[in-house]
Amino acid sequence: MQVVYPTTPAQYFHALRRQMKNDPRKPLTVMTPKSLLRHPRATSTLDDLAKGRFEPLLHDRASANAQRVIITSGKVFYDLLAARDQRKTDAPILRIEQFYPFPQAMLVEALRAYPNATDIVWVQEEPRNMGAWPFLHERIAAILAADQKLRYVGRPISASPATGSHHRHEEQQKALIDAAMG
C-alpha cells in the first residue's frame, strides 16, 4: 500500500505513473485538496513532468546554519513558503509527500544537512487529533538526534475538522504560520 499527498502537478502525475508501472500494483491512496488545483504557486515545469519522478520527500533547501527545520505536508507548505519569503528567514521546509511507506532514510539525510537545527517543527492545518500528526509524530521523533526536539504547530484537538467560521479559520491559520516561523 502507498499513501501519498502530492503538492505539485508533477508529483501527482508521477505518483499515478508509478502506480501504473508497479508490478504487482499496490493500493494507492492519494490525498490532495481541491484548492491546490487553483493555487498560483502549485505549478510544475514541463521538465518536471517529462524528466522527473515521484519524490517521497521534497527538500526545500535553505541555510545550513538554520536553527529550525519545518516539516509539513499538503497545501500549508505554500502558506509557510510565502511567510518565509516575506520574513526572510532561513528555516528550511521539508515536505513529506509520501506517508506510507514512510521515507525514513530520506528524512534522516535531509535533517543531517542542518547540524545546528535543534527545533524541529511539524506543521499541519488539521486539528492535532486529525491529519498526519497522529501517524507521523512517533516516526519523526524516533529519528531525531539527542539535542533535537520535535514540536507540533497546528490547530488544537477538536471533534470537528473545520471551525465553521471562515474568519476564525483565517485567524487560526495566521496563528499557526506565525508559531511555525517563530
Name the fold adopted by 53-181. Rossmann fold (3.40.50)
Residue 182's pLDDT is what? 85
pLDDT band at 51 (very low <50, low <70, confident <90, very high): very high
What are the backbone angles phi and psi of residue 34, rounded to the nearest 5°?
-60, -30
Cα–Cα distance between 4 and 14 in angstroms, integer?
Answer: 11
Q: Could you tell me which residue, 96 or 161, shows the higher pLDDT?
A: 96
Cα–Cα distance between 61 and 54 in angstroms, integer?
Answer: 18
Mean pLDDT of 145-171: 91
Residues of the chain with pLDDT > 70: what percent? 100
Domain boundaries, the chain: 53-181
Instruction: Report residue 130 as a C-alpha cell.
Output: 486529525
Cα–Cα distance between 23 and 18 in angstroms, integer?
Answer: 10
**What single DSSP character describes residue 157?**
P
**Smallest Cα–Cα separation from 72: which of 48, 44, 91, 53?**
91
